[in-house]
Amino acid sequence: MATKVLVTGAGGFIGSHLAASLKQQGYHVRGVDIKEPEYEVRSCDEFRLLDLRRWENCVEATKGIEEVYGLAADMGGMGFISAHHSQILYNNAMINFQTLEAAHQAGVKRYLYSSSACIYPEYKQTETNVTPLREEDAYPAAPQDAYGWEKLITERLCTHYREDYGIETRIVRFHNIFGPNGTWDGGREKAPAAMCRKIAHAKLTGNHEIEIWGDGEQTRSFCYIDDCVLGIAKLMRSDYREPLNLGQDRMVTINELADIVARIANIRITKKHVAGPQGVRGRNSDNTRLRAVLKWEPEISLEEGLRRTYLWIEKQVRDQLRTDRVAASA
């Protein structure tokens, strides 16, 4: 009999890719989300629309399940995270605390929690040419936003549940995951998707001016979704119990990110720097432990990942412009 796994947040970006991959590997996948998958046809064996802020829904979600991948979260890019502190801390704490407790009560054996690079202290991320973040840099704790504080406290909860109850928890700290079939407009999109959308729009409308929040010299690393899904699978099957970074360790500025996407789109752009939330000044992943633990690290280049993402987003923008034209002429 196939192992029964639960993917929470299976209607979202990473969750839908992960669910498809687990199903392909032969697992029986139950997906749960508060919304239907937006871009992909359902890739789960069973999909349930449940609000995991409610205890009875967490009980239903985890019933008969052997392994959980906890990805559900109220989240978005910097514009969203920096403006919804109470909502994010409340919703995500409710989801994660209750899903973990329900999993424990249901006898779940393994539980992977999706944490974030946003747990790292702001004081270690004040320069563009930042030192890559090692897992032990998390303390003394000082995440920039409520989003990171909730991630950090749920990391602790996972560790305590393992120590106290024996549930094998795994904790992964994602660093800016991107790819097709993710949020690309509406206010929750993250930098790579927003950049692809702006540049696709520029290409298709002929207005080549691109708005960038701040001076664009803030730095990040970006990891393609296929590497993320592979890394999750490797960590879940490993015996490593401490938090682990999962990301690329090639750091680029947001201006460079724009230039790479413009080259893919084959257009020249003019950058207009405007006021907007920028998050920390610089951030990169130290992958020393990732390489040691998983004997592997993300392999898909930023250029290749962006090429695949851009092609998908250009199609979305083209479809949207067509819909807008039809509506305007009606």
* Shorter beta-carbon distance to ligand NAD: residue 27 or 174: 174
With CB under 6 A as the contact rule, the residue among 6, 7, 9, 306 that binds ligand NAD is 9
CB 117 to ligand NAD: min, Å: 6
Contacts of residue 77, Cβ cutoff 8 Å, sequence gap at least 6: 188, 189, 190, 191, 193, 194
SS3 218: coil
Say if residue 59 is exposed, middle or buried (CB neighbours under 10 Å; 0-12, 13-18, 19+): middle
**CA–CA dist 163, 166 (Å, integer):** 6
* Shorter beta-carbon distance to ligand NAD: residue 269 or 287: 287
**Tokens representing 225?**
């979704």
Based on the shown chain and the rule CB under 6 A, indicate whether residue 68 belongs to the binding site for ligand NAD.
no
Q: Among 123, 89, 115, 132, which residue's Cα sits nearest to residue 280?
A: 123
* Shorter beta-carbon distance to ligand NAD: residue 269 or 316: 316
Q: From 33-41, 100-108, 202-210, 314-322, give the range in contact with ligand NAD by CB under 6 A.
A: 33-41
Q: From 12-20, 233-241, 255-263, 285-293, give the range in contact with ligand NAD by CB under 6 A.
A: 12-20
Based on the shown chain and the rule CB under 6 A, indicate whether residue 35 belongs to the binding site for ligand NAD.
yes
With CB under 6 A as the contact rule, the residue among 72, 102, 138, 261 that binds ligand NAD is 72
Based on the shown chain and the rule CB under 6 A, indicate whether residue 114 belongs to the binding site for ligand NAD.
yes
> Of 27, 147, 224, 310, which one is the catalytic site residue?
147
Q: Is 147 a catalytic residue?
A: yes
With CB under 6 A as the contact rule, the residue among 5, 6, 75, 306 that binds ligand NAD is 75
Cα distances (angstroms) measured from residue 150 to each of 40, 56, 86? 29, 22, 11
Contacts of residue 316, Cβ cutoff 8 Å, sequence gap at least 6: 184, 185, 197, 200
Say if residues 117 and 171 touch (Cβ distance below 8 Å).
no
- Residue 135 corresponds to which amino acid? E
Binding site for ligand NAD (CB under 6 A): 9, 11-15, 33-35, 51-53, 71-75, 91, 95, 114, 116, 174, 176-177, 183, 190
